[in-house]
Homo-oligomer: A and B are copies of this chain.
Amino acid sequence: MVYAVETETILILKGNIIFTPTSDQFVVFPKSYLVIHDGIVREIIEKLPEQYADCPLRDYGDRLIIPGFVDLHTHAPQFNQRGLGLDLQLLEWLNNYTFKEESRFQETTYAAAVYEKFAQELVRQGTTRVAAFATIHKESSQILFDTLVNKGIGAYVGKVNMDCNCPDSLREDTQTSLAETEELIKQWAGNPLVKLIITPRFAITSTRNLLAGLGELAVKYNLPVQSHLSENKAEVDFVAELFPEQKEYHKVYDHYQLFGQTPTLMAHCIYLTDEAVAVMKNNGVVAVHCPDSNLNLSSGIMPARKLLTAGVKVGLGSDIGAGHDLFMPRTILKAVQMSKAIYSVDNDQKALTLAEAFYMGTKGGGAFFGKVGSFEQGYSCDALVIDDDMGRVEGQSLIERLQRFIYTGDSVNIVARYVAGREVK
């Protein structure tokens, strides 16, 4: 296909291009040109035709060009808390560490300092799209929006809503919580890269009125939703106690239009009945697998294969600070490892392949943001350039080089990052 060429809006990246258009395999374009028009992938070509001769070209030589990573669940205010208190389980950990830390975000200067470090670390680690929880504080949430906009990262940011079962310092008045959320909704309606996502922390810290109001806002403004579901057995029991009229955890969200009525992310999804899985599938709710977090808090292991087989969409999350690691290749790898741990005791649940987990961390999770996470025509050009010269082994194929990067690589191997065709630093 021959395009008209507007040199000023074209950018061309050259290198060994690898991605997963489908979850079953890596597709490789050796030493090829990725042609980007207005931030969108136009085509991948082996030889550059005359028409592009005057367009800006960045030649990355023998390096790998892969999609940027998508982190579908993380808590920005817990960045300073990584690696601490992980001898506890979920509810104790929230009360003893997390709620104390999040209370500090009433101070905007503290928030600004932490969010700057968090955003800088996302860039460094190669995350180009993130769905992040902030805290209940409107001003601090505003700072997280601003910080991510300034860095040029694509994001959904959630001002957290909580109005019960939490310390006084984090308990909101229901109407104020809804009103402040609506103010932020209006304020962030227009940004192309950083958007608001409706974020009840989880059923436990939400009154019925809060859930009802948030569901109405989500539907009214057609906004996506993120929350937590069935992470820990004590949590599941507590939800059953708090919401006896709903027979199951997921029904609490579903009842209040927070479970797929608009695009929805549910983190963890470890202890689900078959019925809950069927509803997730039918409602298109995305299950976000956070293996490090689930291990660190002794929560259990999400049955990723079982969910995939049932037709549920699965993405990956770092879940900072219960998770400790923002480098998504290690979460990709951990998802594979956990599926193998399940397989070793239940041969019916086939292990994830590396391509499947890479897909989850790129195109699979990226779908929540639109056409993101692939280099097919029409996709946003979110890309990383990988320099794997250090420790390179002669004779390795491009796919082996990518495997090697995922297993043994680090942020130092990432030498350039692009979000929607724009380089971020």
- Chain A interfacial positions (CB closer than 8 Å to B): 80, 82-84, 86-87, 117, 121, 292, 295-301, 324-325, 337-338, 340-341, 343-345, 351, 353-354, 391, 393, 400, 403-404, 406-408, 410
Contact = CB atoms under 8 A, between A and B. Distances in A.
Contacts of A354: 86-87
A340 B298 contact: yes
Nearest to A407: B83
Contact of A340 (B117, B295, B344): B295
Contacts of A337: 292, 295-296
Contact of A298 (B295, B300, B351, B404): B351
A148 B27 CA distance: 41
B295 A407 contact: no
B300 A345 contact: yes
A343 B391 CA distance: 37
Given A391-B117, A408-B325, A83 B298 contact: no
A313 B295 CA distance: 24
Can you list the 4 inter-chain pairs with the closest CB atoms, starting with the nearest? A83-B407, A295-B337, A324-B407, A298-B340
A351 B298 CA distance: 8
A321 to B, nearest CB: 10
B400 A341 contact: no
B341 A82 contact: no
A404 B84 CA distance: 7
Given A298-B351, A299-B344, A351-B298, A406 B80 contact: no
A343 B300 CA distance: 9
A407 B403 CA distance: 23
23 contacts: A82-B404, A82-B408, A83-B404, A83-B406, A83-B407, A83-B408, A84-B400, A84-B403, A87-B351, A121-B391, A295-B341, A296-B337, A296-B340, A298-B340, A298-B343, A299-B344, A300-B341, A300-B344, A301-B341, A301-B344, A324-B408, A325-B408, A410-B410
Contacts of A297: 340
A125 to B, nearest CB: 11
A345 B407 CA distance: 28
Contacts of A410: 410
A45 B301 CA distance: 46
Given A83-B406, A84-B403, A87-B354, 5 more contacts: A83-B407, A297-B340, A299-B344, A300-B341, A341-B341
A82 B295 contact: no
B344 A87 contact: no
A377 to B, nearest CB: 30
Nearest to A337: B295
Contacts of A340: 295-298
Contacts of A117: 391
Nearest to A297: B340
Contacts of A404: 82-84
Contacts of A299: 344
Contacts of A343: 298
Contacts of A83: 403-404, 406-408
B408 A344 contact: no
